[in-house]
Amino acid sequence: MNTVMFLLIGVIGGGFFFGLTSWFWWRGRSQSVSSLQVQALQNELTELKIKSEIWREDLQLKQEKNEFLSEEKTALRIKITEISSENAVLEQKLAEQSANFAEAQKTARLEFEKLANRLFDEKSQQFNKANQSSLAQMLNPLQTELKEFKSKIEATHTEETKQRSALEERIKGLIEQTNKVSAEANNLATALKGKPQKRGQWGEMILERILESSGLSKDREYFLQHAIKDNAGNTQFLDVLVKLPDNRDIIIDSKVSLVAYDQYCAAEHDSDEQKNALKDHISAIKLHIDQLSRKKYHEHEDSLDFTMMFVPIEPAFMLAIQGNDDLWNYAYGKNILLVSPTNLIASLKLFADLWRREWQNRNAMEIAKRGELLYDKFVGFAANFENVGSKLEDAQNAYAKSLKQLRDGQGSLVRQAEMLTELGVKSDKKLPRGMLE
């Protein structure tokens, strides 16, 4: 009994000791496993923090790039608005000028017809019995001159109508060009990444559209792919040659490479890749300046002392100028004038205005010449008319009445002739004193 009791106590005690030992062993192992898990979680947390920082910086760069693109898009919209406003102003001015010119033309035509009818119908009938043959000999030359002068005015009106029609077409073209700005922006990247020939054609296309909207006439005031001879007798083909009123020429080149500019736009903001692309962009422009200067277009006969180098993308032009403060002076020192679409448009508008004034001056000189001839003929007619009055005694009363109608009043023919001299028509001949009394 005691033996069984002792055995039972031994078994229970051994089991308790074994259980207690197992409990301490399991607790230590659990604490070890928990420490390893905590360390693993801390490592994972650190890695997530690093990734989060990288993602945050990447997001910030993309936000800055998005802001840059938004600003450029806003600038394009402002430019489109300015062009639309300019179109509206041009259309309004064109309508006003057309109305004024039509009214003046109508008034002048009516005045000439009125004078001619009164002079050649009424007066010839009054003097027909007295000396019909003599008056016909004196009046026919004047009638011929009046018809020629009328024809000249009608021809001027026809030419003005053609010019207005051409201007309207150019305005429509400018509106269409404005509507295509967005589409051309999408095609820009494709053109920049294409072959050199495609890039050159794209620049020439932009240059040609600017010329078409400038007010200059193709093949009269500017020429595309114009061929000239250099000093050695070799043929050179120019992108554009613009004629000026003083028999001078200005040459425009549009073949500059913008591949590096495309790489600059594609690179991340302020990265080493973008900085290197900026350097390459400036180097490409300087290289083209040197190549263009060596062609010596400015030494061509009648050419100005410089050649225009056209950069077809405004931001590319500004980026190069801002990236190298001395770039413009570098080009100018080599007889090259760097121009972007904005300042090229301003220059071409100035050239078009010079041509407009030149054509107006030429027409004014021709009209003044015809007016001078008309005035001389009229002075001769007036002198002969006065002699007729002294000789036609049988028609003295009719003569006195006709003479009064001819020279009295602000709308008389004599007064109109005096107004020609007041307006600047020069002549060595003067009206007889009797016509002015």
Residues 6+ apart with CB under 8 A from 263: 273, 277, 280
pLDDT range class, residue 39, cuts 50, 70, 90? confident
- Mean pLDDT in residue range 371-377: 66
- Torsion from C-alpha of 96, 98, 101, 107, nearest 10 degrees: -100
Q: What pLDDT was estimated at residue 276?
A: 92
Task: Return the amino acid letter for 80.
Answer: I
Per-residue tokens: 227:
């061929």
Q: What pLDDT was estimated at residue 178?
A: 47
Residue 254 CA to its chain's centroid (Å): 16
- Mean pLDDT in residue range 366-379: 67
- Mean pLDDT in residue range 41-51: 81
Domain boundaries, the chain: 75-171+357-436, 196-339
| Residue whose entry in the numeric block shows the structure tokens 């040609």 | 208
pLDDT range class, residue 333, cuts 50, 70, 90? very high
Q: What pLDDT was estimated at residue 181?
A: 46
How buried is 144 (Cβ within 10 angstroms: 0-12 exposed, 13-18 middle, 19+ buried)? exposed
- Mean pLDDT in residue range 245-267: 87
Task: Return the amino acid letter for 224.
Answer: L
Q: How far apart are CA 392 and CA 385, in angstroms?
A: 10
Q: What is the arrangement of strands in the sheet containing 249-253, beginning at the earlier edge strand? A: 222-229, 235-243, 249-253, 307-310, 336-339
**DSSP state, residue 218:** B
Full-model pTM: 0.44
By C-alpha distance, which of 146, 164, 145, 166 is closest to 156?
Answer: 164
Is 81 or 319 the better-scoring residue by pLDDT? 319
* Backbone angle region of 296, left / alpha / beta, with phi > 0 → left and psi within -120 to 50 → alpha: left
Q: How far apart are CA 155 and CA 30, in angstroms?
A: 111
**H or E stretch at 235:** strand 235-243
Q: What pLDDT was estimated at residue 280?
A: 93
- Report whether pLDDT(282) > 50: yes
Residue 403 CA to its chain's centroid (Å): 58
Q: What pLDDT was estimated at residue 182?
A: 41
57-111, pLDDT tens digit by residue? Answer: 878 887 787 787 777 778 777 877 777 777 777 777 767 766 765 675 566 556 6
148-200, pLDDT tens digit by residue? Answer: 766 766 776 677 677 667 766 765 665 566 455 445 544 554 555 445 555 66
Is 400 or 50 the better-scoring residue by pLDDT? 50
In angstroms, the Cα distances linking 325 to 261, 263, 318, 432 are 17, 21, 11, 72
Is 150 or 6 the better-scoring residue by pLDDT? 150
10-28, pLDDT tens digit by residue? Answer: 556 555 555 555 655 565 5
